[in-house]
């Protein structure tokens, strides 16, 4: 084993700058752990002249990917450029050059993880991606190692800091979605185009990764039922608080008899649920195993140094494998064929807000409809609507079949006493 291990960086944005800072600031600790120096050999950037967030020797910068991917001095590639292309092709080239790869790219791993793992294994290279889910939270390594003798039943959590920041502000300050989104953009928590975050796509991609590792099954993105927060009304957050619930965007993966249900959607969590107290830009993931029971992982879900810390933990693992001669030999194969839980087997509690005629017999008509579909109520609020002659009715059901609840929605729309269904959400826990 040589005395220096050289790193090639693809990208020098927020996370890439953090990686360089950690390598520079903690070099003595790295040498102590690894008995070798770790240095950055070359960095791929789009613009060499651009101002950087970290001091870096201009001679290390290049706009030619071959200077990194085909550099014989480089042992480990760290990809922090983001996006699917050209990152996917770059990593395939890296494996062909027998270089180990560390990436923080959840989009790439969600869409092409199995292909990249196959290429890495074929070339006896490591592929690590701890930073792709949960930022600085040591999550993926724990799922793949600490639960190896257990059987994970459920994984659910807050895996997008932008949406959690927005919902926290709406809940605590009574601010509108539009106003909080603008504040999040000004603070750098939300992108100029926030679509991937607020419509749930970012969280859905992370749930693909978590599902794959937790259940050893490949579930493609199109099988993740996805709904974002852009249509969440402050009124529902306020009613939720009265009922003992907190609104969060929840990634949910549940396995029953090898059938898997995966979703991302705004969810009302009972205030006593561990995830209900996770605020602002923080992330948390709740993992339930048959043997260990309930566990939760909590921490910063993004940011330069938290995410770079996860990247560097993977770099250290790759170097240790190089020293032990075990590179490319620790991949966990998927075991189970994909079986998606059919809708008639999915159950949940539900929150429903509707406007109905404020007259005798209205609620009896609505209640009768739900009774016929075997859905009972846990909580009920009725209040005057802002619209003349209408009442606002808020219902929280007991556990109910998803197919029956959706049929109830269809039949409610046909009732002459119901003016409009304003909103409905999944409910988790008992308030």
Cα distance between residue 220 and residue 199, in whole Å: 18
Cα distance between residue 415 and residue 411, in whole Å: 7
User: Residue positions in the annotated binding site for NADPH?
Assistant: 106
User: Residue positions in the annotated binding site for NADP(+)?
Assistant: 10-17
Helix (H, G, I), strand (E, B) or coil at 314: helix
Q: Is the peptide bond before 86 cis (omega within 30 degrees of 0)?
A: yes
pLDDT of residue 2: 65
Catalytic residues: 206
**For the chain, what is the radius of gyration of the CA atoms?**
24
Neighbour-count burial for 342-372, b at 16+ CB within 10 Å, e otherwise: eeeebbbbbbbbbbbbbeeebbeebeebbee
Cα distance between residue 102 and residue 131, in whole Å: 9
Helix (H) or strand (E) holding 412: helix 402-414
Q: In what order do the strands lie in the sheet with 61-62?
A: 61-62, 37-44, 4-10, 76-79, 100-103, 127-128
Question: Which of 310, 276, 312 lies closest to 296, judged by CA?
Answer: 276
Question: The tokens of 371 are what?
Answer: 């009774």
Q: Which fold has domain 140-299?
A: Dihydrodipicolinate Reductase; domain 2 (3.30.360)
Cα distance between residue 314 and residue 132, in whole Å: 11
Contact 119, 90 (CB under 8 A): no
Question: The tokens of 53 are what?
Answer: 């967030």
Percent of the chain as helix, strand, coil, to the nearest 5: 40, 25, 35
CATH class, 343-428 region:
alpha beta
How would you write the pLDDT of the chain (431 residues) with one tens digit per residue? 567 899 999 999 999 999 999 999 999 999 999 999 999 999 999 999 888 889 899 999 999 999 999 999 999 999 999 999 999 999 999 999 999 999 999 999 999 999 999 999 999 999 999 999 998 899 999 999 989 889 999 999 999 999 999 999 999 999 999 999 999 888 888 888 999 999 999 999 999 999 999 999 999 999 999 999 999 999 999 999 999 999 999 999 999 988 999 999 999 999 999 999 999 999 999 999 999 999 999 999 888 899 999 999 999 999 999 999 999 988 888 888 999 999 999 999 999 999 999 999 999 999 999 999 999 999 999 988 777 789 999 999 999 999 999 999 999 999 999 999 999 999 999 98
User: Residue positions in the annotated binding site?
Assistant: 10-17, 106, 191
Write down the domain spans for the chain: 4-135+304-324, 140-299, 343-428
Contact 275, 168 (CB under 8 A): no
Q: What 8-state DSSP symbol labels residue 342?
A: P
Q: What is the pTM of this model?
A: 0.94
378: left (phi over 0), alpha (psi -120 to 50) or beta: alpha
Q: How many CA within 13 A on the CB side of residue 139? A: 34
CB count in 10 Å sphere of residue 48: 10
User: Residue positions in the annotated binding site for L-homoserine?
Assistant: 191
pLDDT of residue 352: 98
Topology agreement, domain 4-135+304-324 and domain 343-428: no
Cα distance between residue 216 and residue 214, in whole Å: 6
Report the interhelical angle of 161-173 vs 234-243 (nearest 10°): 70
* Superfamily (CATH) of domain 4-135+304-324: NAD(P)-binding Rossmann-like Domain (3.40.50.720)
pLDDT of residue 203: 97
């Amino acid at each position: 084993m040589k005395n220096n291990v050289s790193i090639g960086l693809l990208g020098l944005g927020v996370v890439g700058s953090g990686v360089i800072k950690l390598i520079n600031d903690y070099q003595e600790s790295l040498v102590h752990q690894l008995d070798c120096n770790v240095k950055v050999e070359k960095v791929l950037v789009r613009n060499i002249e651009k101002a950087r967030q970290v001091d870096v020797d201009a001679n290390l910068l290049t706009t030619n990917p071959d200077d990194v991917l085909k550099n014989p001095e480089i042992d480990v590639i760290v990809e922090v450029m983001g996006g699917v292309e050209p990152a996917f092709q770059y990593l395939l080239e890296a494996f062909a050059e027998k270089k180990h790869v560390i990436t923080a790219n959840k989009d790439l791993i969600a869409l092409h993880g199995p292909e990249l793992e196959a290429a890495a294994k074929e070339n006896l290279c490591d592929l690590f991606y701890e930073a792709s889910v949960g930022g600085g939270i040591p999550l993926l390594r724990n799922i793949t190692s600490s639960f190896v003798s257990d059987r994970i039943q459920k994984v659910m959590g807050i895996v997008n800091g932008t949406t959690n920041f927005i919902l926290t502000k709406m809940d605590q300050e009574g601010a509108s979605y539009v106003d909080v989104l603008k504040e999040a953009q000004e603070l750098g928590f939300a992108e100029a185009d926030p679509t991937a975050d607020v419509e749930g796509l970012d969280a859905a991609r992370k749930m693909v990764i978590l599902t794959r590792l937790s259940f050893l099954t490949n579930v493609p993105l199109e099988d993740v039922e996805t709904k974002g927060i852009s249509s969440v009304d402050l009124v529902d957050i306020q009613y939720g608080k009265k009922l003992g619930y907190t609104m969060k965007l929840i990634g949910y993966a549940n396995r029953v008899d090898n059938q898997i249900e995966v979703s991302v959607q705004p969810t009302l969590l009972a205030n006593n649920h561990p995830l209900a107290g996770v605020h602002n830009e923080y992330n948390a993931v709740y993992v339930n195993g048959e043997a260990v029971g309930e566990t939760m992982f909590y921490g910063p879900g993004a940011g330069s140094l938290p995410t770079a810390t996860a990247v560097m933990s993977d770099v250290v693992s790759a170097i240790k494998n190089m020293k032990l001669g075990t590179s490319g030999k620790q991949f966990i194969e998927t075991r189970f064929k994909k079986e998606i839980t059919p809708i008639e087997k999915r159950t949940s509690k539900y929150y429903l807000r509707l406007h109905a005629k404020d007259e005798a017999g209205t609620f009896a008509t609505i209640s009768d409809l739900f009774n016929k579909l075997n859905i009972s109520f846990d909580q009920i609020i009725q209040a005057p609507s802002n619209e003349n002659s209408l009442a606002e009715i808020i219902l929280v059901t007991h556990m109910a079949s998803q197919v029956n609840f959706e049929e109830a929605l269809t039949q409610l729309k046909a009732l002459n006493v119901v003016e409009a269904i304003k909103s409905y959400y999944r409910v988790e826990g008992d308030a």
